[in-house]
Every structure is written in structure tokens, then in C-alpha cells.
Amino acid sequence: MRRIVMTTLLLIILVPCLNAQKKEIAQARTIIKSGKNLDKAETLMRNLLKDSVNQENLKIHLTLCDALRKQYEEQNEKMYLRQKVDTANVFAILYRLFTACEKLDSLDSHLAETKQSKPKHRQFYANYLNTYRNNLRSAASFFMRKQNYQEAFRFNELYIECANQPLFSAMDYKESPIAAYWATYAGYKLGNDSLVLRYAETARKDSTHLEYTLQYLAETFLRQEDMAQYERTLTDGINSFGESPYFFSKLMDYYNKRNRPDLAMEVVDQALAKNDTSELFLFAKSTQLLNMGQYEPCIVVCDTIISRNPEMADAYYNAGVAYLNMAFETEKETTKKPAKKRELLQAYYRKARPYMERYRELCPEDREKWAAALYNIYLNLNMGKEFLEIDRLLREAF
């Protein structure tokens, strides 16, 4: 008896709900047929779907998709007739249309499985949406130009994921490296590491933008402190784009900070093997030799740079510092006779002088770099007038 009463109560509750569903579906279909206030038809169906009881009602999903189709077609017609439309809103409708149809297909497929049949609506909606799929890329480009990177990512992602949607299984969509690149770029601009990495492997297949993709990945791995991936990405960048200052300088810094000057030198030598006239690579080699205490080879490289470009200020600086370091090391030696030692010191300071004075001419604002160097040079060469000028400049700085 109690079970009969409970069943009766459930029927009493469910019948009004079902009647309400039918009424709102009918109302939405009437709106769709009229072609007016189509957004209201969408709202009616979305309100129904807020109730978990309705989420597996295929008619509600079908009506929602029809409402969105009509909205999008209406806006498309206005665009075709060159009437004024809200472009962002048109693309928003397109996004909702695709996602609604994918949910419909998922439910349709589930219901078909229980009946051991095929989804009823898949072919129609796959063919229909296939016509507009490229518009997802247009939407992504539109939002990219507006610097709305969140929306740009969403539309690129929706475009890419079509290839993984059962709804489009008959379409045989290929992966899209160009869409993956722009999704990666949008993720980078958002500072969202997970979005940068989501389609990175596919983005790497876009040869046109590969250099930038590798830069975004390198920055992301560095931010994540994944140094193994950071090094690997920089190495890939150097191997693919040997002339790129970005990968070259970053990998050099990486090895030097980890006290691996030998690996840094390998990077330089490999770069010079491809282009032995590059000022960037030659200067990097001079700096590497200087840091490794190989002063005479450093000076040789600096002179090579200067002979090709007399305005390359840092080459003068490196050569000057190399001679000064040779002087400082000579001062520490205890085996040389005083006269020989003095002779060597004078020679090193004399050789350092023209390099540092030329660096001063080219970079007068870099007082911190040339003033102390010239102070030591003039002091040791007993150049009173020049020494007093530098001494005054140093005092003024403090």
C-alpha cells in the first residue's frame, strides 16, 4: 500500500514537470519557426537543462541546436547583406552552436548504444558544422587582433578538438599545426603555462612559426624551473636556427651559470663553424675566452672583430680587460725577477691603454666600466695628468 502511495506521489510530481517541458519546447519551436527573438528560444532550453532531470532529454538538446542554428544563419545573412552586426556576438553564437551540437551528439550516441544502433543526428550535424568549421579559425584571428587571447585560445582549441570529437569521426580531420601555434601563442600571452604546452607538440610541426614556438616553450620551461626541458628546447632552437641570437645567448648563459664553460665554448664553436663572420658569435667567443682566463686568444679574436668593425665598442673593452688581467696575474707572480716583472707590467698596461681609451670614446656613459680600468693604467704608467682626471671622476661618482 505504501509503495502504491509513493508511486502515485511521484506521478503527481512528474506529470506537471513533463507538461512544463512540453510547453516550453513547443514555445521554443514556435519562436524558431517565426524567426524572431531566437535568443529567447535558446534561453528557454538552457533553463530546462539547468535541471539535471532534463539533461538527457534529446528533444531539449535538439531544440537548443535548432535555436542556435537559426541565430547563426540569421547573423550570417546580415553579414552577407553587409548589414551592421556585432562580430564578437556572431562568433559567440558560433561557439555555442558547436559545443551544443557536440553535447547533443554525445547524448545521441549514448542513447543509440543502449539500442545497439547508430546516432540518428550525427551525419546531419557533422555535415552542417563542417561548413562553418573554418569560421572558428576566423574567430580566433579576430580575437587575436583584438588582443583577447583568452577567446583566441578558446576558438583555436575548439577548431583543433573537432578532430577528436566523435561527431566528426567521418570527416577525417587532420591535425592543424597552424591553429596549434596560435593557441600556443595565445597561451604564452596569457602567461598560462598549461595552455602554452597543451598543443605545443603539434605547434612544433608548423615550420613557419617554429622559431617563435621554441622561444615560447623555452620561456615556459624556465618559468617552471624545468631546466632539462629548457636546455633541450634551446638546443633544438640552435640546431634549427643557428643564426638566432635568442637561442645562442640563452644557451650560453645557461651553461655559464652552471659553471660549464666547456659546453658554452662548444656552442660558440659550433655557431662559428656555420658562420665565422658573425660579430655576435665572435664577440661571444672573446668573452668566453676572457672568462676562462685565455687572454691572448681573447685578444686575437677582439682584434679580428675590430678589424672588421672599428665601432664595436665591447671588443675594445674585452681586449683591454684581457691585458689588465694579464698584468694583475703578473703582479702576483713570485718567480720572475723584479726588473723582468716590471717590464712585463709596463708592456701590458701600455697595450691595455689604447683599447680602454677607445672604449671610453665610444661609450662615454659607461663610466663604471672604463674609469677604474684607466685609473689603474694611468697609475702604473705614471701618467700624472690623465691619472688626476680619472681620480677626480671617480671621486665625483662617490
* Distance from C-alpha of 38 to C-alpha of 42, rounded to nearest angstrom: 7
Residues contacting 175, CB < 8 A, separation 6+: 160, 163, 202, 205
> What is the model's pLDDT at position 141?
98
Q: What percent of the chain has pLDDT over 70?
A: 95
Tell me: pLDDT of 175 over 70.
yes
- The pLDDT of residue 338 is 84
Q: Give the separation between CA 156 and CA 176, rounded to whole angstroms.
A: 10
Tell me, what's the pLDDT at 54?
Answer: 92
**Where does residue 118 fall: left (phi above 0), alpha (psi -120 to 50 degrees), or beta otherwise?**
beta
For 55-72, the pLDDT digits (tens) are 999 999 999 999 999 999
Q: List, for residues 261-291, the tens digit of each pLDDT value.
A: 999 999 999 999 999 999 999 999 999 999 9
What pLDDT band is residue 216 in, cutting at 50, 70 and 90? Answer: very high
Q: How far is CA 85 from CA 76, 88, 144, 284, in A?
A: 9, 9, 19, 56
By the 8 A CB rule, do 38 and 31 touch? yes
> pTM score, two decimals?
0.86
Distance CA 288, CA 274 (A): 18
Residue pointed to by grid coordinates 660558440: 268
pLDDT digits (tens, 9 = 90+) for 311-343: 999 999 999 999 999 999 999 887 778 888 899
